[in-house]
Chains A and B, each alone.
Chain A
Amino acid sequence: DGGITQSPKYLFRKEGQNVTLSCEQNLNHDAMYWYRQDPGQGLRLIYYSQIVNDFQKGDIAEGYSVSREKKESFPLTVTSAQKNPTAFYLCASNDRAFSGANVLTFGAGSRLTVL
């Protein structure tokens, strides 16, 4: 079945450590996104990529980095510069970036807790 796989599902990190969240899709989608969700709040866009080897900052990119070396993969690194990284991270994809005709498919999410 086609879909998006995120790993790990749960991750604990000590302050000052970088962590990388994996996102893989087999939907042949061009566009991929990373969102952050805090309790009781909506999703905020961290980074997005419309095509391989290209990515753009979203609303809250500070303290995060991404790469898009393959169409299927869009890993997110949460760096030590991110002041409040504890959150639920969601990866999503669709055929064309921000196309009104294409809805987002989400992965199951990665829950990061900083100890």
Chain B
Amino acid sequence: RKEVEQDPGPFNVPEGATVAFNCTYSNSASQSFFWYRQDCRKEPKLLMSVYSSGNEDGRFTAQLNRASQYISLLIRDSKLSDSATYLCVVNIRYNAGNMLTFGGGTRLMVKP
């Protein structure tokens, strides 16, 4: 079982739609969580960190459910420019230290 799992998609949605992605993680020692955005053939860039109480940044809302070991990203009022791959990143504590583990990404395509 992968340590961080995401539905690869693609999620095809019309402009203005609301779309949500989930990411599950297997290691209960995971400490911190992030969503990165990656455009085609580009490097990943931080979209937002995910806080225990949930957090919002404009049209984007991130939530963490430690009991069920998943994080989510909600995008409201989708724009064409939101089309990208969204990577879930989990910081996991091991005996030797911490390790950032990436999910495989969820691809979003927003259509006119």
**Contact B32 A101, beta carbon cutoff 8 Å:** yes
Q: In the assembly, what is the distance between CA of A108 and CA of B39, in Å?
A: 11
Task: Write the A11-43 contact mask toward B (1 if CB under 8 angstroms, else 0).
Answer: 000000000000000000000000100001111
Within the complex, the shortest CB–CB distance from A86 to chain B, in Å, comes to 14
State which of B97, B100, B104 has its C-beta within 8 Å of the C-beta of A40.
B104
Q: A42-B4, A43-B44, A106-B43 given as contacts; is B105 within 8 A of A100 (CB)? A: no
The A87-109 residues at the B interface (CB cut-off 8 A) are 88, 90, 97-101, 103-104, 106-109
Interface size on B, residues (CB 8 A): 22
**Contact A100 B43, beta carbon cutoff 8 Å:** no
Q: Which applies to chain A's interface (DSSP): helix, strand, loop or mixed?
A: loop
Q: Does B99 contact A (CB under 8 A)?
A: yes
Q: Can you list 20 contacts pairing A with B, beta carbon distance less than 8 Å?
A: A40-B8, A40-B105, A41-B104, A42-B4, A42-B103, A43-B87, A45-B100, A98-B91, A98-B100, A99-B98, A100-B31, A100-B91, A100-B98, A101-B32, A104-B44, A106-B44, A106-B45, A109-B41, A109-B42, A111-B41
**Which B residues lie at the A interface, using CB under 8 A?**
4, 8, 31-32, 34, 41-46, 49, 87, 91, 97-100, 102-105
